[in-house]
Copies of this chain bind each other. A is one copy, B any other.
Amino acid sequence: MAVYTIVSDEDLHGFLAEYDIGELLSCKGIAEGVENSNYLLHTSSGHYILTLYEKRVDAKDLPFFLGLMEHLANAGIRCPTPIHGRDGQALRHLAGRPAAIVTFLDGICVNRSQPKHCRALGESLAVMHIHGEDFELRRPNALGVADWPLLFRETAPLADTVMPGLKNLIDDELGYLAEFWPQDLKQGVIHADLFPDNVFFFHDTVSGFIDFYFACNDALAYDLAICINAWCFERQGEFNATKARALTQTYQNVRHLSQNDLDALPILCRGAAMRFLLTRLYDWLNKVNGALVRPKDPKEYVERLRFHQKAGSAASYGLT
């Protein structure tokens, strides 16, 4: 939630001269995304988002992210669509940063999801997975199962200061995940960060997905497992089985999950809980004093992990 790079009006006018999107009428920094600087542009042709990619995004991944958004948008998935400049390029530089302009997407994020939102999400997620299949670029998951032990190495010495016993709990779980992580699941392009902030609704339908900056190739059912973690637990930590059923069954109605996918769902959910536990733990232990972005409590994901450890099968998530 920030604007890290300030763009002068002169630089902005020069940058926009490379595009054919009309005359600039207004430019406002928006408080969206924790990784990049975002501006809402109003021009004589409409509304756009200008993103300046900050240090946490690897510039070499940008063609994948922008290409994916364009690929999905062309397939009819509602997501920001990169705008090409007069030279055909969608990616250029502004104020010393890689920068791109994408279309502005209407829609509202829900703070308190209801089963109807999970139903709409399940369907849209499955449709996105289907249309991602023929996207030709590849990007390995940089926060996948093989990366978790490495990620934990930096926070392990202080883990018990966050919660007594956390270090052993994570060590044991990482051992289990490394041993039993499924290798034979249907692969595809996943969003990998489809939290409520990244899903827009209009009335009760999904009006778009945003923030594709963790998208990568991985097991498609792992994306569903991330959504189960992100959408189906209540604020006090309780698992909401109604929401999970709404999410998974509408997904399954649109895109068939194989028996392998179904059998793997509990461990995929454990892995997804681990991935967010580890990054939250890192942000929690490396927080900046006084910063406006308050790190989220990693302990929430310990509770979710424990739930998944006890889940016997896909039936725990509403699938049979």
A-side interface residues toward B, CB under 8 Å? 1-3, 8-10, 12, 24-32, 40, 42, 47, 104-112, 200, 202, 288-292
A-B contact pairs, 27 of them (CB 8 A): A8-B112, A9-B108, A10-B112, A12-B108, A24-B108, A25-B106, A25-B108, A25-B202, A26-B104, A26-B106, A26-B107, A26-B108, A27-B108, A28-B30, A28-B31, A29-B30, A29-B32, A30-B30, A30-B31, A40-B40, A42-B106, A289-B289, A289-B290, A290-B290, A290-B291, A291-B291, A292-B292
Which chain B residue lies CB-closest to A110? Answer: B9
Give the contacting residue for A30; candidates B24, B40, B47; CB below 8 A.
Answer: B40
Q: How far is the CA of A105 from the CA of B26 in the complex (A)?
A: 8
Chain B minimum-CB-distance residue to A291 = B290
Question: 7 closest A-B pairs (Cβ-Cβ)?
Answer: A29-B31, A290-B290, A8-B111, A25-B106, A288-B290, A26-B106, A289-B290
A42–B104 Cα distance when bound, in Å, is 11
In Å, the complex CA distance between A107 and B28 comes to 10
**Cα distance A204–B108 in the bound complex, in angstroms:** 36
What's the Cα separation between A10 and B291 when bound, in Å?
27
